[in-house]
Every structure is written in C-alpha cells, then in structure tokens.
Chain A
Amino acid sequence: MTGFVDLYTEADSFLHRMDPRVKIAAVVLLSLLALIVGNLVNLLALLAFVLLLLVLGRATLSKTAFALKFVLRIMVMIVVLWPIFDPSGTPVLAELGPVKVTEPAIWKGVATAVRVCCLATVWYILMFTTSQRDLVRALVKLGLRFDFGLALAISLRFIPTFGATVESITDAQRARGLELDRGAPLKRSRNYVAVLVPTIVSALRTADMLSLTLQSRAYGARPDRTYLRELRMRWSDALALAAVVALFALPAAAKYLFGMAL
C-alpha cells in the first residue's frame, strides 16, 4: 500500500464521545491560541495541555508516532534553520561570514517548533477521535450544504480505494516494461501518462457508477432531509465548549485588550 492509514481509531474516551461540533470548535480555538501565544514557556504549557488531551484520548503510541513523524522532521528543520536565517538580537553566539547566530533567534526557533507541534497535535487529536462520518455530520450541522458534505465523505472514503487502483495500474505498466524513474526529465514525465490516463479513466468510471448507485437509492428524492443519527449537545459538551472558549478568550483578552506580552 501507499501507506495511507485512516487516523481515526475506535476507543472509548471522553474525547471520542464528545460532540464533533464542539471538537471542531475546540481545535480551531486551540490553534488560534497557539498562534497568539509567542512566549516559549507559555507555548510549552499549551503543548503540555495538548499532550495531556492526547493521553486522555487514549492515543496509541504507534499511530501517533506514524502521524507525527513528519511533523517532527519539520520541527528539527525549524530549530536548525531559524537561527541561520534570523540574525536579529544580541548576544551574538557565533559568526561565520554572513551567517550570524544569536541567542534570541535560537529561542525563537525553538518556540516556533513547539508552536508547530501544538498545531499538528491538536488537529491530529480531532482526526483520531472523530470518525470521518461524524466529522462530515458536524460540518453539515454547522451549515455546510448536505451535498458538499456527502461529496466530502465520499472522497475521504475513496482515498484508500484510489490508492490501491493507482498501485495496481503502476504494477500493470511496470509489467509492460515501464520504468517510471528512468530517463531524462521529459521522458520521465511522459512515462507518467501511462499511469495517469488509466487512473483518470478509472476515477471517471467510478464516479459514474457512484452517481447511478446514489440515484438508484433515491438520493435527493425529498429536499428536506431527515437524519438517522442526530447530533445532540449534552451538558458535558456544553461544559467542554465553555472551558475551551474561556481558555482562548482569557489570553486573547489579556493580549489584545490589556496589551500583555504572551
């Protein structure tokens, strides 16, 4: 396989049970919070909170490592590159030709890396505690048109299928002597035509069939839809929402109303 794994993991935690609308709101607010806060200590506190949520949401270590491996690489890059390209501040720790490494720049790099980690982890928590169906259901309840929600759900559902098709097509063409990564750049891009055309044709055929299946099940027969599963806010959901709003509003007010440095 091409390595695609659905991040959603079934488990029984308060995050899994939480109303997906509240989760989406929480993720957006926590992301904004991570952008507002600039101080390393505060960012670390936020990261600690987010990691606590991760643990409470019963994230498995292997899946988390798989999902955040990529982010870790970006973090390392930020920490290394930031001081090289940001010559501002004193004291200067090292100077090599045009490159000037300063102490504040190092801390800024670290803070930015922590911020990126916060952002990625928050969204990862949403993905692994919320099934794609719930996510789409929540977006529709928040005002997304149902057709768009369905289209989104279907495209998410078909990503692995599509991946398998691409793999099978690539195999079929390799069995005909196609060597994708050989030859000059122009030849190489021409090679991909042999994979691209069957892929597009197969995607179109699938889409065509899918629309027939939808129609044959009377999709769109009545304009006012009813839902088998209604989302319902419970007290705990309202409480969680209030907590997150407060968590965001207090620092935001402190920074923008009272001019405190965070």
Chain B
Amino acid sequence: MIPSTQALPAQDRIISVRDLKYIYEGGVEALKGLNLDIRSGEFVAIVGGNGSGKTTFAKTLNGLLRPTSGLVTIGGRPAASMTVAELAKTVGYAFQNPDHQLFSSSVENEVRFGPRNLGYPEAEVAKKVEAAIDAMDLGPIRGHPPLSLRLSDRRRTSIASVIAMDPKVLILDEPTTGLDLAETEALMESVCKLNREGRTVVLITHDMRLVAEYAHRVVVMAAGRVLLDTDASGAFSDLALLGQSNLEPPQVTLLAHRLSDRGVPKDIISPEELALRLFMLRGDRR
C-alpha cells in the first residue's frame, strides 16, 4: 500500500485538491466534494465509468474549469490565482482527440506552438521542442504535416506538443483509444520513460489492463467522488466496488478471484504473477 498522502509534507504534493465541487451550467453536479493529493513523480491512473467526473476533474487542474467550490493547489499555489496559460507551465493536458488541436504545417511547428505561447526565449523553445520530439520518437516525421499522419502519430504529436511546455505534471486523457496493441505499448513505453525521468503522470482511462500494467496508484471515481485510492492490485481486489464505477478488473485478476478458494490470492494483476502462484501451489501439494 502507498502511504496516506494526507500526512505528506506540503512541498511533496504537486497537486492538492480539497472539497472540490463542480456544477455545470444547467445544474449537473459533476464533482461532489473531491479530496486528492498527488505527489511529485507519481504515475496515477484515474479510472471510472463515463460520467464519473474524470475529465471534469482533470480540467479543474489546469484551470479550463473553475471549481464551483473547493480548493485546487498546484505546486503550492492556488490554481484560482493563475491563468490557464500560467497553469500550463506546471500542468500539461493532452486532450483525448488529437484532431482538436493539430493545425500546423509540420510536426515540428505544432510542437513549437505551446512553448512559444508561454513566451520562452527562442533558444529555450528550440531546446524544449527537441526534447519533446525526442521523447515521443517523432524525429523521422518531424517535417510531415500532422493532420495527414496516422492516428497513433497524431496522438504522439499532440502529446509532444504538451510535453514541449515542460510541465511537471502530464495529464493524458484516454491516450490509447483507437490504437492497436503495438502502438499502445510503444506509446506507454514513452510515457513511462517520461515518468522515470521525474515527470508526474496522470492517466485517465477505462482500460484496466493499461492500469494494471503501468500505474503505481489507482484512483477510482464514481458519481463525482473518489471511491477508492490505492495501488493497482488493491484496486482490483474489490469487485463490487469496481462494479459501482462500471469497471471490471483485467481478466487475469478475475481468474485469480475464481481460483481464490484454491489458495490463489485475489490481488494478481499480471499473467506472470498468476503463473508463478500456480507453480508455487503445485509445489506445496507435492
């Protein structure tokens, strides 16, 4: 289990959210009092069914939505006191649909747009653009027009264009929708590398296999609240709770649940782990 974040010293929390409520125009209450801390360097998955408030929550972190009530603190400063552009320096948000942001004539220009907007000097911009293109493996296609690339490359470009602003936190909203297995793994490998280099990653997703494989910590949301906040294997041991959020653990975990009366633990999240457990059980019997 991860240690409770409530006890953390303030400077370790890159994101801190208290009693966050958000009501849309028209009366839909999307967030109903959310409390959450995210530490610097974490890889957090935020999961939940459609309409659970994941995206609304993410948008309050970079100021696109201003909370109806409650407090959002980013890097020690209240988000309410910062503009979206200022917040973009700390919290980068890659939207779900890359086509909602691509407009430049080349991948390189696309990536340059963000840091330019933030007013960095040209030399600095060039450095950040190189780093972002490198991080997302876009070197070979840097001169291509982004709109004519295939989906996985359009998504890489959109993520690179956010990384180029050098944010401490990277929010990825459903980054693997529509990608095949190889593309998904390649993309997540790049994201993990960014995380290892110290960037905080917040992954919004429905894909529990992705969560099991990559996230250190899982926040399960349902109906505008945090239902569960734990490590990945902990999140999958309570099926009823996950069901409340229209989620199901990966199949290997479900299999482990079925085998639990034979002595297999319920918190298994990878096939390797299950195989190991089964071997151990066979050994016991001999």
- The answer to whether A171 touches B64 (Cβ under 8 A) is yes
Of residues A1, A171, A175, which shows the largest number of chain B Cβ atoms within 10 Å of its Cβ?
A: A175
Contact B59 A171 (CB under 8 A): yes
Interface residues as binary, B62-99 with A (CB distance below 8 Å gives 1, 0 otherwise): 10100000000000000000011100110011010101
Docked-complex contact A175 and B62, CB < 8 angstroms:
yes
Contact of A176 among B59, B97, B99, B165 (CB under 8 A): B165
Task: List the one stretch of B1-9, B13-21, B100-108, B208-216 in contact with chain A.
Answer: B100-108
Interchain nearest-CB distance for A15 vs B (Å): 27
Which of B84, B89, B161, B162 has the most A CB atoms < 10 Å from its CB? B84
Q: What CA separation (Å) do A83 and B116 show in the bound complex?
A: 52
**Interface: B284 (CB within 8 A):** no
- Minimum CB distance partner of B24 in chain A: A1
How does the 8 Å CB contact mask read for A193-207 relative to B, with 1 for contact and 0 for none? 110111001100100
Determine if A176 and B161 form an interchain contact, defined as CB atoms under 8 angstroms apart.
yes
Q: When the two chains form their complex, are residues B84 and A175 in contact, meaning their CB atoms are under 8 A apart?
A: yes
Asked if A178 lies at the interface with its beta carbon under 8 angstroms from chain B, I say yes
For residue A202, which residues in chain B have a CB less than 8 angstroms away from its CB? 99-100
B11 within 8 A of A: no
List, in ascending order, chain A residues with CB within 8 A of B102's CB.
198, 201
Q: Report the separation of the CA atoms of residues A142 and B102 in the bound assembly, to the nearest whole angstrom.
A: 44
Give the distance in Å from the alpha carbon of A198 to the alpha carbon of B95 in the complex: 13
Task: Determine the chain B residues whose CB is within 8 A of the CB of A197 once the complex forms.
Answer: 103
Please judge, given known A-B contacts A165-B100, A169-B100, A172-B101, whether A201 and B147 are in contact too, CB under 8 Å.
yes
Q: Which residues of B contact A169 (CB under 8 A)?
A: 100-101
Instruction: Find chain A residues with CB under 8 A from B147 CB.
Output: 201
Q: Which chain B residues border A168 with CB–CB below 8 Å?
A: 95, 97, 100
Nearest B-chain residue to A179, judged by Cβ: B85
Asked if B25 lies at the interface with its beta carbon under 8 angstroms from chain A, I say: yes
Chain A window 70-105, contacts with chain B (Cβ cutoff 8 Å), 1 for yes, 0 for no: 000000000000000000000000000000000000
A255 interface residue per 8 A CB criterion: no
Q: Measured between alpha carbons, how far is A1 from B97 in the docked complex, in Å?
A: 18
**Taking CB as reference atom, which chain B residue is nearest A175?**
B93
The 3 closest A-B pairs by CB, nearest first: A177-B117, A197-B103, A172-B101
Chain A facing B: main interface SS = helix
Number of B interface residues in the complex (CB < 8 A):
28
Determine whether A173 belongs to the interface, using a CB cutoff of 8 Å to chain B.
Answer: yes
Please indicate the chain A residues that have their CB under 8 angstroms from the CB of B26 in the complex. Answer: 1
Complex interface: chain A residues within 8 A of B165 (CB): 176-177
When C-beta atoms are compared, the residue in chain B nearest to A5 turns out to be B26
Query: A174's contact among B25, B84, B103, B115, by CB below 8 Å, is which?
Result: B84
Q: Give A208 to B162 CA distance when docked, in angstroms.
A: 29
Q: A171-B64, A194-B113, A201-B147 are in contact. Are A176 and B101 (CB under 8 A)?
A: yes
Residues of A in contact with B (beta carbons under 8 Å apart)? 1, 165, 168-169, 171-179, 193-194, 196-198, 201-202, 205
Bitwise, B199-213 to A at CB < 8 A (1) or not (0) is 000000000000000
Q: Could you tell me which residues of chain B, from 185 to 203, have a CB within 8 Å of some CB in chain A?
A: none
Residues in chain B near residue A177, CB distance under 8 A: 84-85, 88-89, 114-115, 117-118, 165
A201–B95 CB distance below 8 A = no
| Residues of A with C-beta under 8 A to B118 | 177
**Residue numbers in B under 8 Å from A172 (CB-CB):** 95, 100-101
With contacts A1-B25, A171-B59 taken as known, whether A178 is within 8 angstroms of B99 at the C-beta atoms is no
- Contact A205–B99 (Cβ < 8 Å): yes
Q: What is the CA–CA distance of A194 and B25 in the complex, to the nearest angstrom?
A: 26
Q: Which residue of B lies closest to A197 (CB)?
A: B103
A sample of 24 cross-chain residue pairs with beta-carbon separation below 8 angstroms, ordered by A number, consists of A1-B25, A1-B26, A165-B100, A168-B100, A174-B84, A174-B85, A175-B62, A175-B88, A175-B92, A175-B95, A176-B101, A176-B161, A176-B165, A177-B85, A177-B89, A177-B114, A177-B117, A177-B165, A178-B113, A179-B84, A194-B113, A198-B101, A198-B102, A198-B103
Tell me whether A198 and B99 are in contact in the complex, defined as CB-CB below 8 angstroms, given that A174-B64, A179-B117 are known contacts: yes
Q: How far is it, in angstroms, between the C-alpha of A168 and the C-alpha of B101 when the chains are bound?
A: 9
Q: B147's closest neighbor in chain A, by CB?
A: A201
Residue pair A193, B103 in contact (C-beta under 8 Å):
yes
- What is the bound-complex CA distance between A191 and B114, given in angstroms? 12
Quote the shortest CB–CB distance from B102 to chain A (angstroms): 6
B248 → chain A closest CB, angstroms: 29
List residues of chain B with CB within 8 A of the CB of A174: 64, 84-85
Q: How far is the CB of B95 from chain A (nearest CB, A)?
A: 4
Query: When chains A and B are docked, how far (Å) is the Cα of A49 from the Cα of B33?
Result: 51
CB closest chain-B residue, reference A3: B25
Please indicate the chain A residues that have their CB under 8 angstroms from the CB of B113 in the complex: 176, 178, 194
Whole-angstrom distance between the alpha carbons of A60 and B100 in the complex?
37
Minimum distance in angstroms from B5 CB to a CB of chain A: 25
CA distance A175 to B117 in the complex (A): 10
B122 → A minimal CB distance (Å): 16
